[in-house]
Amino acid sequence: MTEQTPPETPTQSPLMEPIPVTRIGQAAKTITLEAGPEARAALARRFGLIELTAFTARATLRRRTDTGWIELKGALKAGVVQECVVTLEPVAAEVEGEIDELFDDSREIDGYEVELDPVAEDPEPLEGDVLDVGEVIAQVLSLSIDPYPRAPGVPPVDRTDGGAGDDAEAEAEGAASPFAALAMLKDSNVKKR
């Protein structure tokens, strides 16, 4: 068994692209990032990958006219090689991620009223005078990577096949389900009739 080192938490992003917030205007600025070998190796170590074979991202950065929030929109593409969670074989995959982030640099955070609207846009408060677009894009990459990669031919776990060990686990999950309690209540009412 190989011992994995935990992903590192860098002080600086390998994709470092700092942009002073005072230079972000309402006109969209296009940002294109292509990671070189050193940056790809650093990102691979950080996210626990065997290898990051390719990485490109293209986004636009602008300040919204209606709210003054900073908007970063675009897409990224990457080639990753990860360990299969079952066989530990290398698994190569193409990753695509959508970049859709909002930041509020107004610093008017204290004492504001919180609205509980699940469809409302919520900007992330931005501290400091610089937005590291590269780090934001690196975080989008980390969320786009499959957390449970499987080698070709390795079937996903099927809880309906009745395999050994699956029954006990399925029963435990069913017992914890709120619908299981309703089903038991329904069964007891039917029996009483």
pLDDT, tens only, 106-115: 876 554 554 5
Q: What is the DSSP string of 31-54?
A: EEEE--HHHHHHHHHHTT-SEEEE
50 falls within a domain: yes
d(CA 97, CA 77): 7
Orientation angle between helical segments 37-46 and 133-144, nearest 10 degrees: 60
Phi-psi map region of 74: left, alpha, beta (phi>0 left; psi -120 to 50 alpha): left
Residue 19 backbone class (left: φ over 0; alpha: ψ -120 to 50; beta: rest) = beta
3-state secondary structure of 117: coil
DSSP-derived letter for residue 7 is P
pLDDT at residue 156, rounded to an integer: 74
In sequence order, what are the residues at sequence separation of 6 or more whose Cβ sits closer than 8 angstroms to the Cβ of residue 46?
7, 8, 9, 10, 14, 138, 142
pLDDT: which is higher, 57 or 118:
57
Res. 181: pLDDT tops 90: no
3-state helix, strand, coil in the chain (%, to 5): 25, 30, 45
The H-or-E segment that residue 179 falls in is helix 178-192
pLDDT of residue 121: 75
Looking at the fold, whether 42 and 123 belong to one and the same domain comes out as: yes
Q: Do residues 24 and 70 lie in contact, with contact meaning Cβ atoms separated by under 8 Å? A: yes
Answer yes or no: is 2 within a domain. no
One domain for residues 26 and 101? yes
pLDDT at 133: 94
Same domain, 165 and 140: no
Is the same domain home to 134 and 190? no
Judge if 137 and 47 occupy the same domain: yes
Mean pLDDT of 123-136: 91
Indicate if the pLDDT at residue 145 is higher than 70: yes
Question: Has residue 167 got a pLDDT over 80?
Answer: no
Cα–Cα distance for residue pair 148/146, rounded to 1 Å: 6
Quick check: 93 pLDDT over 80? yes
What pLDDT digit, counting tens, does each position of 40-61 carry? 999 999 999 999 999 999 999 9
Residues 56, 123, single domain; the answer is yes
Same domain, 128 and 167: no
- Same-domain pairing of 175 and 140: no
Arithmetic mean of pLDDT, 53-74: 95
The answer to whether residue 175 scores a pLDDT higher than 60 is no
Q: What is the pLDDT of residue 114?
A: 47
Is the same domain home to 138 and 104?
yes
Q: What is the pLDDT of residue 185?
A: 62
Percent of the chain with pLDDT over 70: 67
Instruction: Say whether both 140 and 163 belong to one domain.
Output: no
Q: Could you list the residue range(s) of the whole structural domain that residue 182 is in?
A: 158-193
Number of domains in the chain: 2
pLDDT the model gives residue 16: 84
